[in-house]
Structure 1
Amino acid sequence: MLNRVKQHALAEDLGVSQSRISRWESGRSEPDDRARRKITRLLRARPETASDRALLDLVTQASTPVHLVCDLTHRLLAASPKRVRLWHVPVSELMDRPLWQFASESIRRIEHQLEDKGWFEPCGVDIVYRTERAEFTELTIPESDIRISRLALSDGRFARLVRDEPKAPA
């Protein structure tokens, strides 16, 4: 069972066998586009409980540049005022939209290394990396060190906390 979705129920919902679901999970095969969209809808982060909403509040009230996205879809869930200051559009225009289109080259590169770095392990580590400046009409990503943390929401889905890593004292 993943995120409260049993293999049998998912297989039935998608019109495939449970063994096919197992092959997808093991990486021996991949779902087609229709199945992938349905799986994404089922597994994307949905902060719905009081504790999840408290996490959103902590992010939106943080005094440092920080934002929270769905770990699977990169949809924006919350952002602090200092993060929003780097954006050229109101936060409402980006809320609940995937931010992946704004990923710098180094962000895209690290995304492809997450599995090798243990990101998906039950007690995965934070990952710190350097990103270059990237300018978009909607927002600016400054050159900085970024720390990402994978956080489980109350329903078992995951969010990604993205923070600027403090500069080391000179």
Structure 2
Amino acid sequence: MAAHDTGLALKRLRLLRGFKQSHFAQLMGVHQATVSRWERGDLPLSKAQQAAAHRLLAAARDPRQDAALKRLVESSARKVHLICDRTHRLLAASPARQSEWRADPAEFIGRSLIGYASQEILAAEATLADRGWHEGELATLEIATAGTLDPVIPILPGRVLWERIALADGSAGRLVTTIA
């Protein structure tokens, strides 16, 4: 398919799914101008970009699934929380996870938690692109952390499991579960 035809199909699907160019660009990890160039046929998408666009646009999305996921996390007896995979914004946390924190968990909903990460978590985060995490080649990762002594959101030493999952808006979420 020519770049022009691919661009038109991309634009139709994006509009059909209700994505603004700027939001789609953010989800794809590119500038809005890049999406515009794709849609005009001025710039072809790489194979990886085509696969990512397909994952974002091809599947029917239902926000009720996100609400159900949030309820499951918030009612879990395990130490688990859900973040936006790209921005690390907190989306939900279990009572067991919240009990470790020394502040009102509601203050953190919608805020990035990356500033509370341990050195081991930051090091693992830095390897995700090379591992194909964002392209879906790796969907789970187990890491060990020495923890932190942060006075607000301490991280206890141990092992955590990261699981990448699709959210209704086409972005990815990450379930972070402490492994006993």
Provide, for residues 82-132 of structure 1, a one-character-per-residue CA deviation record: whole Å limited to 9, x for no partner.
100110001111111000110110010000111222312335231001011
Over alpha carbons, which structure has the higher Rg?
2
How many aligned residue pairs are there?
143
* C-alpha spacing 1:126/1:15, structure 2 compared with 1 (3 Å): closer
Instruction: Give TM-score scaled by structure 1 length.
Output: 0.72
Instruction: Give TM-score scaled by structure 2 length.
Output: 0.68
In the TM superposition, what is the alpha-carbon distance from 1:25 to its structure 2 partner? 7.6
Residue number in structure 1 paired with 2:109: 95
1:70 lines up with 2:89 in the alignment: no
Correspondence for 2:142 among 128, 132, 154: 128
Aligned partner of 1:66: which letter? V
Q: Which runs of 5+ in 2 are unaligned?
A: 1-9, 26-30, 48-60
Higher helix share goes to which structure? 2
1:111 lines up with 2:119 in the alignment: no
Residue number in structure 1 paired with 2:37: 18
SS in 2 for 1:74: coil
Q: Distance in 2 between matches of 1:101 and 1:85?
A: 19
* C-alpha spacing 1:90/1:143, structure 2 compared with 1 (3 Å): same
Q: Distance in 1 between matches of 2:33 and 2:98?
A: 43
* C-alpha spacing 1:64/1:15, structure 2 compared with 1 (3 Å): closer
> Identity, % of aligned pairs?
32
Q: Distance in 1 between matches of 2:132 and 2:80?
A: 22
SS in 1 for 2:123: helix
Q: Distance in 2 between matches of 1:64 and 1:22?
A: 46
Q: Distance in 2 between matches of 1:131 and 1:23?
A: 41
CA contact (8 A) 2:102 2:152 kept: yes
RMSD, aligned α-carbons:
3.2
